Chain A
């Protein structure tokens, strides 16, 4: 039972938090129902919003992206930044700048990376809220309204929106990712918010208070610039909230190989690069700006993802060498245990879901989820090792060479 005790603390821990959250919310909603408290008095706050659409070689989707945003919110401006595309993205976007008064199109001749492309837009907006949206991301009609409500509280510096997989029905790979997104992002971030450990916003759809972004002087060189900025905003004393019903949809990788590469990039940039190195001060109690809730963000990720990842590896090696006949039993135990947790996850998800039929359909893949989890754990171990020893994230061509040659290797 060592397996359950160590390697799978992650899952039960989240499950416990989810169940507690569910019980709490259920009782609260029931109480409100009894007392007749109307919870639907929403969308009362309407700050000015600037959507930054920064993209590289997005000629095909940029026009559609702009059109899908225009008119979705009353005080909206859109800044499109072409990061030196070679496919004529700037040429595609220009006419929209002419067509709509609130669309500004900026371009630069050479690629400089997503972070500086987004920073390029900052001097040109005075909006209270800055929202970054990827060109291939489609927003729910109410998504902008949903996420800006949280900024009524001046202490809120960033709001994490919910990302769903648009192409869940393409193949097993995308189906499993859709299932993962439902739990890790939709419910996962709600849980993280409740325990005060929400330290991430997705770059595909992230809402930030402009004054907070300006105090940090904008995004640093990526990859992982969305996580990095959220952490720096937290360090300034702002809180990060989660808007579970600010939905957006994005295409997830359709091939296992590409998924593997995408996750390597994400994981490299997050735990080792950000939490263990650049923002290690979050976990340092001797630091003047130390806050326990920030410590919790880092501690959780480092312990659960990094340390437990290696513990699992060592344990698996130990079992294989010493008691190989136990392997089937260990795997079976892991599988059954994971399934039990998945069922609990799905039940709680159904309470929060607003599209139960669709989500239930996605959840039908749950018997394969434990195997997918092993894939993710393996991916994490590989990427942490690469980053720990070779700082591979700094060689990622997500950032053009002349820029990554100049940036600090944290």
Chain B
């Protein structure tokens, strides 16, 4: 990992180094001057090779200094001996105390006495991956699960490299078998069925009788206590409702309590909630390099 002082003024530039100032060679043959106007921008950069699977090769990370920058391309000075030839790179440029990234394709290489100059265009696989909206986990209707645009392995690799910033967006409960999204029900503890009926009881305060609510209601709809024959009972002042036992319509199990059960929509697995897997949903943020802004800042 490249460590730098937070102070922009202290950023090493070629002119500040202990080496004698070198003459900037003519880099005109690296670029097509007619289409792309170049500016003199000296900033520390890092270059990380990227494989065809999108994974960054951190061991071959190279530190260099930018020499020229345009909207479409960049020229980088790399110390001798550090370069491992690779065409597709992720370039990180230090600007305003942060590293801004862009994908580049190496077009030309020119050696000089201390190392080499690299002429690269913005684009390629790395640029594709960081372009567009920030990658957020979304619900996939076919998969019936939350998915990211790329494989999770890739995001792990990129966040390890410090390229992307991982933010916890949500923590959800999913199927312990397949991470599919479940539905939930208060179900029978024995068999997990949702067909559970609940008794409603009445407690008559005056005589302490407790019985099914149906015992208390007459044909005329009045509430009458079957024990003490008191009539015209008023809920709250004369009696209260109690929740009794639950009866399972599937297996006949009786219990005072139901259990929260999940049913996976993807693999049809039914599980108790304490078995559910906790899945963290992360968003990945990357600071994209805006060449124009850097150029404006530098001139």
Residues of A within 8 A of B (CB): 94, 97-98, 104-108, 110, 112-113, 115-116, 119-120, 122-124, 217-221, 225, 402-403, 405-408
Contact = CB atoms under 8 A, between A and B. Distances in A.
Nearest to A217: B227
A254 B243 CA distance: 38
Contact of B244 (A106, A217, A221): A106
Given A104-B245, A105-B256, A218 B209 contact: yes
A105 B257 contact: yes
B279 to A, nearest CB: 27
Interface in B219-245: 226-227, 237-238, 240, 242-245
Interface residues of B, number: 25
Given A108-B242, A112-B240, A123-B244, A218 B208 contact: yes
A119 B199 CA distance: 15
Nearest to A79: B256
A153 to B, nearest CB: 27
Please name the 8 residue pairs, one residue from A and one from B, whose CB atoms are nearest each other, closest first.
A115-B208, A406-B205, A119-B210, A217-B227, A116-B208, A403-B205, A406-B206, A120-B210
Contacts of B211: 123
A407 B205 CA distance: 7
A55 B105 CA distance: 77
Contact of A116 (B189, B203, B238): B203
A126 B178 CA distance: 44
Contact of B238 (A113, A115, A123, A406): A406
B254 interface: yes
Interface string B35-52: 000000000000000000
15 contacts: A97-B255, A97-B256, A98-B189, A105-B256, A120-B244, A217-B226, A218-B208, A218-B227, A220-B207, A221-B205, A402-B205, A405-B205, A406-B205, A407-B205, A408-B206
A94 B257 contact: yes
Nearest to B238: A406
A78 B278 CA distance: 36
Given A221-B206, A408-B206, A110 B240 contact: yes
B201 interface: yes
Given A106-B244, A124-B244, A217 B209 contact: yes
Contacts of A219: 208
B237 A406 contact: yes
A406 B237 CA distance: 8
A106 B227 contact: no
B260 interface: no
Interface string B235-271: 0011010111100000000111100000000000000
Interface in B173-218: 189, 199, 201, 203, 205-212
B210 A218 contact: yes
A217 B228 CA distance: 9
Contacts of A405: 205
A221 B208 contact: yes
A107 B242 CA distance: 9
B245 A116 contact: no
A47 B243 CA distance: 29
Given A104-B245, A120-B242, 10 more contacts: A98-B257, A104-B256, A105-B257, A107-B256, A108-B243, A124-B245, A219-B208, A407-B205, A407-B206, A407-B207
Contacts of B242: 108, 120
Contacts of B245: 104, 106, 124
Nearest to B212: A123
A47 B131 CA distance: 78
Given A94-B257, A123-B244, A112 B203 contact: yes
Contacts of A403: 205, 208
B205 A97 contact: no
A293 B216 CA distance: 36
Nearest to A121: B210
Contacts of A113: 208
Contacts of B255: 97, 104
A98 B207 CA distance: 32
Contacts of B254: 104, 124
A106 B256 CA distance: 6
Nearest to B253: A101
A112 B238 CA distance: 12
